[in-house]
Amino acid sequence: MRDPAGLHDLSTDVSVPAGLNLVAALTGFADAGSAVTQLSDYLLDTMNHSVVARFDNDTLLDYRARRPVIYFDQDHVSDYTPLSLNLYLMKDELEQPFLLLTGYEPDFQWERFTAAVLQLISKFDVKSTTWVHAIPMPVPHTRPVGTTVSGNRTELIESLSVWRPRTQAPANALHLLEFRLSALGHPIAGFVLLIPHYLADTEYPLAAVAAIEGVSAATGLIFPTDRLREEGRDFLAKIDAQVENNQELARLVGTLEERHDSYMQDNPLRSPLTDIDGALPTADEIAAELQNFLAIRRNDDTNPTA
Across 47-51, 121-125, 239-243, 285-289, least confident range: 285-289
- Other beta carbons within 10 angstroms of residue 96's beta carbon come to 14
**Cα–chain center distance at 232:** 18
CA distances from 281 to 154, 233, 272, 290 (A): 19, 35, 11, 12
Angle ∠(126,176,44) on CA atoms, nearest 5: 55
Query: Which residue type, as a one-letter code, is found at position 34?
Result: S
* pLDDT score of 22: 98
The model's pTM is 0.86
* pLDDT score of 273: 44
Could you give the CA distance from residue 204 to residue 32 in angstroms, rounded to a whole number? 8
Query: Confidence band (pLDDT; 50, 70, 90) for 147?
Result: very high
Judgement on whether residues 64 and 205 belong to the same structural domain of the protein: yes
Count of domains forming the chain: 2
**Cα–chain center distance at 129:** 10
Judgement on whether residues 178 and 263 belong to the same structural domain of the protein: yes
Q: Is 186 helix (H, G, I), strand (E, B) or coil?
A: coil
Which range of residues forms the domain containing residue 87? 4-272
Judgement on whether residues 36 and 144 belong to the same structural domain of the protein: yes
Summarize pLDDT for 39-90 with one digit per residue, the tens.
999 999 999 899 999 999 999 999 999 999 999 999 999 999 999 999 999 9
Judgement on whether residues 248 and 286 belong to the same structural domain of the protein: no
Could you give the CA distance from residue 74 to residue 65 in angstroms, rounded to a whole number? 26
* pLDDT score of 267: 82
In terms of Cα–Cα distance, which of 100, 103, 66 is closest to 84? 103
Judgement on whether residues 171 and 284 belong to the same structural domain of the protein: no
* pLDDT score of 272: 47
